[in-house]
RNA sequence: GCCCCGAUGGCGGAAUCGGUAGACGCAGCGGAUUCAAAAUCCGCCGCCGAAAGGUGUGCCAGUUCGAGUCUGGCUCGGGGCACCA
């Protein structure tokens, strides 16, 4: 055995061995339990980034561990190959998206292979090939015929200078990223998937996903947003036959409505604008800027009155209709009732525009304060408006009239209390007892909703309704590098789906990208066609599909990537029954991708393509981001020049605290910025390739798994990488030194071990149990690695020179090698073959705990006095509670703090501690 | 703005079911080895304190014999918000 650890040679040899033996090939085998381990497939952006390495290492560790546990493991890989970056690259470098994508795939495949992942490469595919996307075109036509795909108008970001539709991320501060032009909202016809038809199932099935993180289920639940409320109408004042519909979850506050707000796109707003230039201008202003909800919601809340009045359906009062930029046309009816007293947003709006406020819910505290203050005012003979229970105007009355007067101190105090409480409840968004509400006064919110809904229903002006926040999924994209939508537009027959025998609609690959609209719309050879129905002249749809379409079913296709005659086949039932056993990917996909994939699985079930597999992903692990420190220099004009961490030296004080940083090139200081997600814009990315080249794949894998638990963000550290490499070198040396002394059998007689050796063997078997639990149940790898490090520290300190000791050394090193094998398979493969000549670690079973090794006669218990650690006692594992208490009370360290006082209580936590309360 | 998550030494993190806070690693400091350096090995290492001891898990309250862990209220940081993937 060579004495030096040489990762390059070892890794090459191990990878060759796995290739030649087909170690990662997955073959259906009904006699074994299957384990389908899937990592989110990458977008082929050029080269792997650290997030990929992290994601795929987690997947590989779980795959290899489960293989050692006897599962039939499938770990596939492919390419999410359609998307915008290919078009951007085409614009920048004048290369066609297809060629750019395919060469990226080739390079990234090489990188993945160099990391030693046990991937079944025979199942690889890229979604941009007709062999893949033909099936989603085919599915699209099926869904179209079933009415699950339909066409309607949708709003997009329109760049009036580049004459193109922009993605949300291409709109920066309301302007186009390339042209700088003010973006406009534009309505265009688009195809939609009827995901709302599955809202109820998508919601209820979340309860059947115990293998998902609670936070992801919660996010999806909130996204679907089921709410029960009341949908009701305000008849127009001058034309009661015309009605303005709104939805509210707080029908109990309906008596507090003081105005109604509609979206700028609402027909009523449009109508009012005809003779109102100011309003027309405002609506036009609302039409500017992007469509992203985050931007709309953070905009300054603005509004204008329309001059149109509607009739309150219960009070008959006239309330004015306003146009508000915060009302979204895409939610519900594009109109909301406004109750400033009980809604934060309406409150802000009413304060800004001095609109009336009517309080209809009050807390017990407010009612009490109101009562006391008004009684006191009455007793003092001070006049106050005889309004019903503390409306908003009372705040102003207090501030303008009472606080300017000299009130008797006791009255002043009560009025101040009321004033404070009134401010506190402006607005009051809690439910409570109704006031000021006519016949509903005195009802509790829940009962009030029932009564109000019943009254509205009796008038034919509304009723209870279940509403979802979830909207149908618009899938049309006015882009080139995507899957063509298989529809033919015929003047006589309308929209006709492309018949099966004409599929796939192949995306032409030799195109010129100009950045102004889709090139497909400029290619008659693509769009000119004949109608499949009437044979007449027709035009092919030139929009492509949202790239979420590809990623919504790829996990099923891995089961049968070679099937040229069907989308999926019976092999899906083998690999995906009960769901994919483990899915791993970034938390940023918690909502959209995962929701669409769940939706697709149900769609494909209902189209009869797959049986009822249940939810597609039984267990989900959402990994955190990879972050790194940022450094910059301020340039003239305040712009920041970001400097890569690799080019910076950090200066520390004598305790290792950073005091500053300098640029390697010139030795002059740079500013230390925050720790942020690795990105091009902050120039803080670390190329994994450099790491692999310098230290090898195992070091990269080990560092990434050791640095933090998988679901937390991972901070990059060059020094930490050194540490990981040192550990592998040390492991190599430990095995080398042992092997140099000759190999021995691992058969061990527990009784012939010295105390220290028995301690080591107990630790060894405890570690086996812990590591298996960490890999299998906890999916926390940093602690598994730490446990093996601890084991090897103990190994180093134990005298193992005698024959029994040599056998224990053999057992410890063999086990440690296998425990680490899922994380560092190359060195594991090499070391195991040295320890057991001819053995293949890749085929070995995971080490099994020997219960005899775990036995212990005595344990240490901590002694606390009043909850503070004061001492420790050693007791027999068989000791009863009374004798433990006695031993603790007799402990001299504890007695010092008991100071002879009688113990009030003694708490014994078995196996842990004794707490004496005095 | 809305939904979700997080915060523990100089740093990454550990403490799995409310029971010894800081495992493991990094950085730092001291020493051995070396002509010297690298590598390696040994020791120290939350803060205050000479020690005894006190104090300490973002902040403020609370529950408990006992809180990093549970409850309420904040602060700061991050993810998502439907055309980035």
Which residues contact residue A669 at a Cβ distance below 8 angstroms, ignoring those fewer than 6 apart? A660, A661, A662, A663
Residue with nearest Cα to nucleotide B16 C1': A778
Nearest partner of A405 among A382, A387, A422, judged by Cα: A382
CA distance A355 to A348: 10
Nearest nucleotide by C1' position to the A703 CA atom: B25
Q: How far is the CA of A903 from the C1' of B63 (A)?
A: 23
Report the alpha-carbon distance of residue A361 to residue A249 in Å, rounded: 15
Q: Which two tokens mark A499?
A: 């018949």
What is the structure's pLDDT at A228? Answer: 92
The bases of strand B with some atom under 7 A from any protein CB are: 1-5, 10-16, 19-21, 23-29, 39-42, 47, 53-54, 65-67, 77-85
What ipTM was reported for this prediction? 0.96
CA A422 to C1' B7 (Å) is 35
Res A708: pLDDT: 92
* Closest amino acid to nucleotide B24 (CA–C1'): A786
Question: How do residues A847-862 score in pLDDT, each as one tens digit?
Answer: 999 999 999 888 889 9
Q: Which of A284, A427, A279, A301 is nearest to A353 (CA)?
A: A301
Name the nt closest to A590 by C-alpha to C1'.
B80
Distance from residue A627's CA to nucleotide B75's C1', rounded to whole Å = 23
Q: Sign of dihedral through CA atoms A563, A566, A568, A570?
A: negative
What secondary structure does DSSP assign to A669-696, as a single string?
A: EEEEEEEEE--TTTT----HHHHHHHH-
Is residue A885 within a helix (H) or strand (E), and if so which, with residue range?
Answer: helix A881-890
Please compute, for residue A349, the number of CA atoms within 13 A of its CA located in the half-sphere on the CB side: 27
Q: What's the Å distance between residue A704 CA and nucleotide B79 C1'? A: 20
How many Cβ atoms from other residues are within 10 Å of residue A759's Cβ?
Answer: 14
Nearest 10 degrees: CA dihedral of A404, A408, A414, A417? 40
pLDDT digits (tens, 9 = 90+) for A881-912: 889 999 999 888 888 888 888 888 899 998 88
Record the tokens describing residue A590, joined without a space: 């918690």
Q: Is the separation of the CB atoms in A359 and A435 below 8 Å?
A: yes
Nucleotide minimizing C1' to CA distance for residue A196? B82
Can you list the positions of beta strands (E) in A60-141? 72-74
Nucleotide lying nearest to A780, CA to C1' measure: B16
User: Which residue places its CA closest to the C1' of nucleotide B13?
Assistant: A708
User: Residue A543 burial by CB count (10 A; 0-12/13-18/19+): exposed, middle or buried?
Assistant: buried
The pLDDT of residue A352 is 85
Q: Which nucleotide is nearest to A711 (CA to C1')?
A: B5
SS3 state at A568: coil
DSSP strand pairing (A239-248 vs A227-236): antiparallel
List the single protein residue with the shortest CA to C1' distance from B64.
A867
* b/e per residue A2-25 (b: at least 16 CB within 10 A): eeebebeebbeebbebbeeeebbe
Q: Which residues in chain A land under pLDDT 70?
A: 387-392, 637-639, 652-659, 674, 681
**Sign of torsion, CA A873 A877 A878 A880?**
positive
Distance CA A118, CA A102 (A): 22
How far does the CA of A12 sit from the C1' of B6, in Å?
40
* Helix, strand and coil in chain A, % to nearest 5: 45, 20, 35
Q: Which residues are paired to A246 by β-bridges?
A: A232
What's the token pair of residue A39?
């990592």
Measured distance CA(A726)–CA(A743) in Å, rounded: 25
Nucleotide nearest to A787 (CA to C1'): B24
How far is residue A391 CA from its own chain's centroid? Answer: 44
Token look-up 């200066």 returns: A651
Q: What pLDDT score does A292 carry?
A: 92
H-only helix segments in A287-408: 293-298, 344-352, 364-380, 393-397
- Residue A719: nearest nucleotide (C-alpha to C1'): B26
Nearest to A10, CA basis, from A866, A825, A663: A825
Distance B20 C1' – A869 CA (angstroms)? 7
């Amino acid at each position: 055995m060579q004495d030096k650890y040489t990762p390059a040679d070892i890794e090459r040899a191990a990878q060759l061995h796995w290739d030649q033996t087909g170690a990662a090939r997955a073959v259906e085998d009904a006699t074994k339990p299957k384990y389908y381990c899937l990592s989110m497939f990458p977008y082929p952006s050029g080269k792997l980034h650290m997030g990929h390495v992290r994601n795929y290492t987690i997947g590989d560790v779980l795959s290899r561990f489960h293989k050692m546990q006897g599962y039939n493991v499938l770990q596939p890989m492919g390419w999410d190959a359609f998307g915008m970056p290919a078009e951007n690259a085409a614009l920048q470098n004048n290369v066609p998206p297809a060629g750019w994508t395919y060469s990226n795939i080739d390079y990234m495949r090489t990188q993945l292979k160099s990391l030693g992942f046990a991937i079944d490469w025979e199942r690889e595919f890229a979604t941009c090939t007709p062999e893949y996307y033909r099936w989603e075109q085919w599915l699209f036509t099926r869904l179209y015929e079933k009415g699950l795909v339909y066409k309607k108008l949708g709003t997009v970001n329109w760049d009036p200078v580049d004459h193109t539709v922009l993605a949300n991320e291409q709109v920066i501060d309301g302007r186009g990223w390339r042209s700088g032009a003010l973006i406009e909202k534009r309505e265009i016809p688009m195809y939609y998937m009827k995901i709302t038809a599955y809202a109820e199932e998508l919601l209820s099935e979340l309860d059947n996903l115990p293998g998902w993180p609670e936070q992801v289920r919660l996010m999806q639940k909130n996204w679907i947003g089921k709410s029960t409320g009341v949908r009701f109408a305000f008849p127009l004042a001058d034309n009661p036959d015309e009605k303005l519909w709104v939805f509210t979850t707080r029908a109990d506050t309906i008596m507090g409505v003081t105005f109604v707000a509609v979206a700028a796109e609402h027909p009523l707003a449009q109508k009012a604008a005809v003779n109102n230039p100011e309003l027309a201008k405002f609506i036009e202003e609302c039409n500017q800027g992007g469509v992203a909800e985050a931007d709309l919601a953070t905009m300054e809340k603005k509004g204008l009155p329309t001059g149109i009045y509607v009739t309150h359906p219960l009070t008959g009062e006239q309330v004015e209709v306003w146009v508000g930029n915060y009302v979204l046309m895409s939610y519900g009816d594009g109109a909301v009732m406004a109750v400033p007293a009980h809604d934060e947003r309406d409150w802000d709006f009413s304060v800004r525009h001095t609109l009336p406020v009517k309080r209809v819910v009050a807390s017990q505290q407010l009612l009490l304060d109101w009562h006391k203050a008004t009684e006191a005012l009455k007793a003092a003979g001070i006049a106050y408006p005889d309004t019903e229970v503390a409306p908003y105007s009372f705040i102003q009355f207090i501030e303008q009239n009472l606080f300017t007067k000299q009130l008797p101190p006791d009255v002043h105090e009560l009025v101040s209390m009321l004033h404070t409480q009134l401010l506190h409840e402006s607005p009051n968004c809690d439910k409570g007892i109704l006031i000021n509400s006519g016949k509903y006064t005195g009802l509790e919110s829940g009962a009030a909703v029932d009564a109000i809904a019943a009254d509205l229903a009796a008038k034919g002006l509304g009723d209870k309704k279940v509403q979802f926040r979830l909207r149908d999924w618009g899938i049309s994209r006015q882009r080139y590098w995507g899957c063509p939508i298989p529809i033919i537009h015929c003047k006589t027959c309308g929209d006709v789906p492309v018949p099966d025998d004409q599929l796939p609609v192949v995306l032409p690959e030799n195109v010129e990208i100009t950045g102004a609209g889709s090139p497909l719309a400029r290619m008659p050879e693509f769009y000119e066609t004949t109608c499949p129905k009437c044979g007449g002249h027709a035009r092919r749809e030139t929009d492509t599909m949202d790239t979420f379409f590809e990623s919504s079913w790829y996990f099923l296709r891995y089961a049968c990537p070679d099937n040229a005659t069907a989308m999926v086949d019976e092999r899906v039932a083998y690999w995906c029954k009960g769901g994919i056993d483990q899915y791993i990917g970034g938390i940023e996909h918690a909502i959209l991708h995962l929701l669409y994939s769940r939706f697709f699985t149900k769609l494909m079930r209902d189209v009869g393509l797959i049986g009822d597999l249940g939810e597609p992903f039984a267990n989900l692990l959402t990994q955190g981001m990879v972050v790194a420190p940022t450094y910059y220099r301020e340039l003239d004009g305040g712009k920041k020049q970001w400097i890569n961490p690799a080019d910076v030296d950090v200066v520390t004080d004598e305790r290792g605290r950073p005091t500053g940083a300098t640029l390697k090139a010139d030795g002059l200081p740079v500013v230390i910025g925050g720790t942020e997600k690795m990105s091009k814009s902050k120039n803080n990315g670390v190329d994994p390739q450099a790491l692999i080249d310098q230290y090898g794949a195992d070091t990269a894998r080990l560092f990434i798994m050791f640095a933090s638990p998988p679901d937390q963000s991972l901070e990059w550290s060059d020094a930490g990488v050194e540490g990981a490499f040192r550990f592998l070198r040390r492991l190599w040396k430990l095995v080398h030194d042992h092997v140099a002394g000759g190999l021995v059998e691992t058969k061990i007689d527990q009784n012939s071990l010295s105390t220290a050796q028995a301690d080591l063997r107990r630790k060894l078997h405890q570690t086996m149990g812990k590591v298996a639990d960490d890999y299998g149940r906890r999916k926390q790898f940093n602690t598994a690695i730490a446990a093996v490090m601890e084991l090897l520290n103990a190994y180093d300190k134990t005298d193992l020179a005698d024959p029994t000791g040599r056998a224990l050394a053999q057992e410890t090193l063999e086990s440690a090698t296998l425990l680490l094998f899922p994380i560092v398979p190359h060195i594991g493969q090499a070391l195991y073959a040295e320890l057991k000549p001819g053995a293949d670690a890749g085929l070995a079973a995971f080490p099994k705990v020997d219960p005899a090794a775990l036995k212990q006669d005595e344990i240490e218990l901590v002694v606390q006095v009043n909850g503070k650690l004061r001492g420790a006692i050693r007791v027999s594992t068989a000791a009863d509670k009374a004798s433990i208490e006695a031993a603790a009370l007799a402990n001299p360290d504890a007695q010092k703090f008991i100071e002879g006082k009688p113990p009030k209580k003694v708490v014994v936590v078995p196996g842990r501690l004794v707490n004496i309360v005095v």
